[in-house]
């Protein structure tokens, strides 16, 4: 199932697909206040989170990490995690899947009785509406747009575009990445990286010949 035209209702809120290419899929999540996702893992895919607005507690099996806008975290495959919104109005999140696979889901515990169940089927789908975000394809000089209090643009890049970026800027790699002189990837599609780290890496390494990134800044 492609999920291009639907919003998926969840007991904690809703989510929908807002970008896809051959490497990554990005979903927009709204978790309502004091609601939380199941304690679950993805055996075969990695996940990146970017909190756009609001505050969350991201729980692992043995500890909890507070996150606020624009905090980020990577959840590597098979790592159990649960996300709870704790701010008024809930929390708004980008979730980055690499590779895309909504059926790659194992639930351990769930406040809504969904243990051992699969991803929500068609009974939980409603049509997308005009206010649902769809991130445009990358351009060399894209016009930024505002979404959930953030300025967002999808960039097709050359190295000089990135050397003097700030820590407050976040980038989701959608294609290409950063490679060594031996063409070994050290930053991959699906990775989320701040601008300061990006600039530091590019002082020693180089962009893949075709690299695109989504830039997010408050």
Residue 138 lies in a domain: no
Per-residue pLDDT of the chain (218 residues), as tens digits, is 689 999 999 999 999 999 999 999 999 999 999 999 999 999 999 999 999 999 999 999 999 999 999 999 999 999 999 999 999 999 999 999 999 999 999 999 999 999 989 999 999 999 999 999 999 999 999 999 999 999 999 999 877 777 788 899 999 999 999 999 999 999 999 999 999 999 999 999 999 989 999 999 99
Which pair of structure tokens corresponds to residue 75?
Answer: 């959840």
Q: What is the pTM of this model?
A: 0.95
95, 42: one domain? yes
Number of domains in the chain: 2
Same domain, 10 and 105: yes
Output the domain CATH number for residue 70.
2.60.120.10
SS3 state of residue 200: helix
Residue 62 lies in a domain: yes
- Dihedral angle, C-alpha 116, 50, 62, 35, nearest 10 °: -60
């Amino acid at each position: 199932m492609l999920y291009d035209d639907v919003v998926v209702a969840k007991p904690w809120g809703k989510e929908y697909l807002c970008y896809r290419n051959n490497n990554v899929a990005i979903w927009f999540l709204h978790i309502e206040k004091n609601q939380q996702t199941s304690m679950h893992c993805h055996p075969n895919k990695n996940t990146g989170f970017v909190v756009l607005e609001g505050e969350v507690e991201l729980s692992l099996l043995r500890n909890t990490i507070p996150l606020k806008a624009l905090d980020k975290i990577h959840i590597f495959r098979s790592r159990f995690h649960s996300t709870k919104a704790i701010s008024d109005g809930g929390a708004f999140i980008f979730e980055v899947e690499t590779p895309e696979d909504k059926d790659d889901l194992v639930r351990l515990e769930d406040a809504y009785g969904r243990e051992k169940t699969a991803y929500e089927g068609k009974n939980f789908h409603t049509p997308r509406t005009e206010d649902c975000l769809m991130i445009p394809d990358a351009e060399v000089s894209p016009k930024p747009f505002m979404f959930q209090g953030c300025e967002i643009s999808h960039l097709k890049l050359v190295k000089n575009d990135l050397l003097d970026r700030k820590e407050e800027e976040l980038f989701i790699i959608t294609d290409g990445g950063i490679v060594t002189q031996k063409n070994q990837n050290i930053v991959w599609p699906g990775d989320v990286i701040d601008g300061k780290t990006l600039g530091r890496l590019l002082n020693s390494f180089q962009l893949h010949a075709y690299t695109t990134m989504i830039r997010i800044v408050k």
